[in-house]
Amino acid sequence: MREFTEQSGPQLEGKVDPATGSPLDYFFILFPLTLLQLLVVHTNAYATFCMARDGLDSSWAEVTETEMRAFPGINILMVQRHVFWTARSADDHDTEPIRQVIDTLLQTFRNSYVLSRDVAVDEAMIGYTGRLSFRRYMPAKPIKRGIKCWMLCDSRLGYLTNFEVYLGRDRDNVEHGLAYNVVMRLTRFIRNTFRWVSFDNFFTGLPLVKSLLQNGLYSCGTVRCNRKGFPQQLKKPAALRQRGDSQVLQLGDSNITASVWMDRKPVHHLSSK
């Protein structure tokens, strides 16, 4: 088994002097001036588009870079987290600026930090109560209504390094389904680094664990015992009666193991570590 040896942490050498750097210097590493300039261009372009469609607005004045710099500052001071999306998601005029902003942020997130050995994939909700075609309702979540995102984060510090906005299942009608595709996409840029990827039983399945291992990533997670490929003899093992009892099976001579551990009820796992 190969070991992961790369050191994790911020990659800020040559960008900010830790002795003299200000909070603003660090902010502009993740939110560069080029991104703010991009927001200015698209904000003004969208205003022009709306006025061409709806008529001139005498109160409108073009947004400046100085004003755009102030906008995220105001939101931070107010401790608000707002994401503004347009409902016309099929219109390239609306979606392309959003894609450019997301791509810029993802690039700066990755360039500014090296992930530790341990990473995790999970879902998160961004609170949003407006009208939106892909707004979700998840009653079991602390934030019940909003925009659902898939996220890849550092398990030690919680640093976000990759994410996707969930727009619906249409793009995932392929062989292994939504959960498999999400993890494979989010981990594409860390393949063959031999990191350890963790996830919960929504994602875990034998095809995913196999594919990650073939792409140089170890993984583990709790698993629903009715998932295809999970060993039948571990689903309801009669020999496990007391809390702490466990049983493990190995898949051939591979790294992959299936296990069950008795808590108040059996807890099932798949792992390639």
pLDDT range class, residue 97, cuts 50, 70, 90 = confident
| For residues 64-91, average pLDDT | 65
| Packing angle, helices 206-214 and 177-186, rounded to 10 | 20
Centre a 10 Å sphere on the Cβ of residue 205 and count the other Cβ atoms it contains: 23
Model pLDDT, residue 89: 42
Confidence of residue 93 (pLDDT cuts 50, 70, 90): low
Domain extent listing, the chain: 12-112
88 pLDDT exceeds 50? no
| 151 compared with 133, residue with greater pLDDT | 151
Q: Tell me what percent of the residues of the chain surpass a pLDDT of 70.
A: 87
Averaged over 96-114, what is the pLDDT? 86
Question: Pick from 164, 142, 137, 136: which is nearest to 151 by CA?
Answer: 164
Provide the pLDDT confidence category of residue 25 given band limits of 50, 70 and 90: confident
Q: What's the pLDDT score for residue 225? A: 93
Question: pLDDT tens for residues 225-272?
Answer: 999 999 999 998 888 989 999 999 999 999 999 999 999 999 999 999
Q: pLDDT band for position 78 (50/70/90)?
A: low
**Average pLDDT, stretch 24-40?**
89
**In the predicted model, what is the mean pLDDT of the chain?**
86
8 vs 46 pLDDT, higher one:
46
pLDDT in tens, 172-230: 556 678 999 999 999 999 999 999 999 999 999 999 999 999 999 999 999 999 999 99
127's tokens: 């609170």
Residue 84 has pLDDT above 50, yes or no: no
